[in-house]
Every structure is written in structure tokens, then in C-alpha cells.
Amino acid sequence: MRTEDLIHFCAPARLVMGCGTRAQLPALVQRLGWRCGVLVTDRFFTQNTPWVREYVEAARVRQIDVIVFNGGEPDPSTVLCDEATASVRQKAEGRVIDHVIALGGGSNIDLAKALCLTLPGGQPIKDFVGDIGGVQPLPLVAMPTTAGTGSEATPGAILIDPENATKIAVMDNALRPQIALVDPEFTYSCPPRVTADAGIDAFTHAIESFLTLDSALYDRQGHADPGYSGRSALTMLFARESMRLCARWMVPVYQDGSLKEGRAAMAYASLYAALSYGSAGLNAVHGLAYAIAAQTHKSHGSTNAVMLPYVLDEIAAVRPHEFVELADVLGLGAMTAAEASRAVPLRVREWVGQLGIATDLKAFGIAEAALETMVKDGLAVVRLAKAFPVADVPAAYRRIVLKAFAGRLSGDA
């Protein structure tokens, strides 16, 4: 317990977890009184798995109408959302849509969250950027098929705005799914690259939120219902369990996707990480990863991964007690704070390499001339920069980027 915590914790109204639990959904939807829903997914799942067909048939038996939208895409855009809104409303033919179901990775879940806002009235999604204006979105069921993003427990949707090629956020606690259904069997067929990127994303969410700004110091800007509000004993509890599972299973599941126990462990680790960062928030890793993505257009998991060891190296000095704990959670054993501050970033960089991801910015494809732009772009993500618990954030970001380019950690010989 930490008596200084100012906890504002939000989670899905219902968590349904376990292998095969997808079969429970039609009965649950019926019990909640929902009668007409939209299932948001993509063509891979309609063409290559039985999951969509099985749900539609089981729902029909219970007199639940399902409109399938399978036009989901990686990094969905505002244009896609508006086109999907018009298409689904046309298919509804006057029926009242009363819920949305998302099946897929973070991109499909983000699109579904946006549709929860746009489907009732047909407005463009840009109307809801910054503040959803007290609108009550449709209830959402999120069924993740990857073990990493944690979108099934978070308050926001990230979309690409094609007009300026930037990412925009639609955020409100009302967008957190009413039901998060985590069935590890959905992840069994994930290819190694997706498994690795998702796994390191989950681990980053856990460790970054474990070390982020305290809830008592977090700037909530006077918001009565903030989406993020800093770390607390409660968020750290979930982060610890997520990191423990990642330390045991993240690399082995990448190396052998048939490990069912490991698949289940990583599905749970992803959710636990989301329950941590979904209230605590994140900081420098994600802020700088967004800057890398703007230059390389590489996956979110890998852009997080290449920065993570160097951010840990920077933050160790202000989180000595946590690093002692991290050393134990990550399997390094009992260490002093000084030993842990060197060993933890080294271990994390080792894992990044084992996941087939470049371990420095130069190998990742970033030119030296672009480093200052990276620092500037990272600092421009103000919410994340303000949550980095160091005295001089701009100077810290610059040190992180330079060390990441050189591939140099304090623990290197």
C-alpha cells in the first residue's frame, strides 16, 4: 500500500478469460439484452478462420442480428472509419445497432472503438477528436487475437489522419470495452514476427507503466474522469505479474509458437499490462517510438523495443528501489540498486535481439542526421514527456537517443 497514491482506476466492466471462452459470448450478449451488433474484423479472419462464422451462427440461434464488417486494415485511418460508418449504416437497413464486437489485433479494436462513436449518428470520426463531448458510445466487446496491444482494456483509439500523415487519438473512459474476452486460442496461429512484436509491446507497457510518474504527481489537468492518472500500488501490481510472465515466456513463444501454456501466459500478460498502463499511462519509450515510426514506418512493437533498454538506462537513477525489484522479477536474482541499474537494461536489450529486432537505432535504419528531429518529435508528444519522472526531460531524451544510436548502455564493458 502507498498512502500517497491518488487512484483513478478504470477497467472493462467484464473480463472473460480462458481457452475456448469465445463460445460463451452469444449467451452473454443475449443476457445483456443486445439484439443487433456489428462485428468488426478483417478479411483474414473471415476467410481463414471459422471464428466469425461460428459466432454469427450461434448468435442467430439466440435471435441476435450480426452485421459483419471485414474491412479492417493495419493502422486504420479516419477515412476508413468514415467509410465503414456509411457502409454499416446502409447494411443495417433501419435496424437499431446496440453493440459492437471487435475481433483482431489492436488496429481492429481501435477501429471498432471509433465506430462505437460514429455509428449512432453517422458523424465523421474527427468530430470526436480531443473530446467526445459527452456522447455515450455503443457498448464494445473486444476479442484480441494478438498478445500485445492491450486495447481490450484501454480508453483510446489511435487512427491515421491521411491529410497530414499523423496519428490522432480519440479518447474517453467511455470507450473502454464493456467486455474484454481474452481467449488465448485466438493467438495460436500468430506468426513469429507478430508474436515477437506483440510480446515486446506487452512487456514495454508493463515495465514503462511500472516506472512512470506517480499518481500523486500526475497532471490530470482538472479532468474529473482522466483516462490516465499515473502509477499507483494497484497498477504496479498488474505490471509485476505481466513482467513475470513476459520474462518466462516472451522469447520461448517467439521461438516455438506451439507452446500453448506460453501462448496463454502471454495473452494474460498483455491484459495485465493493459490494466497497468491503461490507468497509469506511459512515457519516454512510447514518445520516442512514435518519432521513430514517423521516419521508418516500422511496427509499433519494434519501435518500442529498440528504445526500451536505453530509456531504462536513463530512468534507473531515479527508480533505484524499483530496479532492485525488477532484477528479481526478470530472473536476475538479488542485486544492489547499482548492480540492477546496469543489469536490467542489458537483459532487456538481450531479449530484444533474441526477438529478431535491431538493438540500436543505426541498425534500425535511423540516420545520424535525424537524431535531433527524433528528440524534437518525441518531446512534442507532451503527455508522454511530462510523465517521464526525471528532472530535465529534454536533456534526458537527447542522452537516450544518442546512446540508442551508438548502442551504448551503462552496463557495457
**Could you tell me the domains of the chain?**
14-187 (3.40.50.1970), 192-406 (1.20.1090.10)
**Cα 253 from Cα 132, distance rounded (Å):** 39
**pLDDT (0 to 100) of residue 1:** 79
Other residues' Cβ atoms within 10 Å of the Cβ of residue 304: 29
Which among 341, 321, 344, 348 has a CA at the least distance from the CA of 332?
Answer: 344
95 to 35, 65, 399: CA distances (angstroms): 10, 9, 57
**pLDDT (0 to 100) of residue 209:** 98
| Amino acid in the structure at residue 5 | D
* Complete DSSP assignment for 81-139: HHHHHHHHHHHHTT----EEEEEESHHHHHHHHHHHHHTTT---GGGGSS--TT--PPP
Q: Would you put residue 94 in left (φ > 0), alpha (ψ -120 to 50) or beta?
A: left
**pLDDT (0 to 100) of residue 370:** 97
**pLDDT (0 to 100) of residue 73:** 96
Q: At which residue does the C-alpha cell 479532468 appear?
A: 223
**Cα 200 from Cα 302, distance rounded (Å):** 8
**Cα 230 from Cα 210, distance rounded (Å):** 10
CA atoms within 13 A on the CB side of 240: 15
Give alpha helix (H) positions in 126-259: 192-211, 233-255
| Amino acid in the structure at residue 164 | N
And the C-alpha cell for 348? Answer: 532487456
343 to 202, 329, 339, 349: CA distances (angstroms): 21, 12, 6, 10
Q: For the purposes of burial, counting CB atoms within 10 Å of the CB of 127, is it exposed (0-12), middle (13-18) or buried (19 or more)?
A: middle
And the C-alpha cell for 255? Answer: 521461438
Q: At what angle do helices 284-296 and 371-380 cross, to 10 degrees?
A: 130
And the C-alpha cell for 372? Answer: 535531433
Which secondary structure element, helix H or strand E, spans residue 180, and what is its range?
Answer: strand 179-182
The answer to whether the predicted template modeling score (pTM) of the entire model surpasses 0.75 is yes
**pLDDT (0 to 100) of residue 187:** 98
Report whether 108 contacts 73 (CB < 8 A).
no
* Residues of the chain predicted below pLDDT 50: none
- Specify the 3-state DSSP secondary structure of 231: strand
Which residues lie across from 4 on neighbouring strands? none
55 to 35, 91, 313, 317: CA distances (angstroms): 14, 19, 47, 51
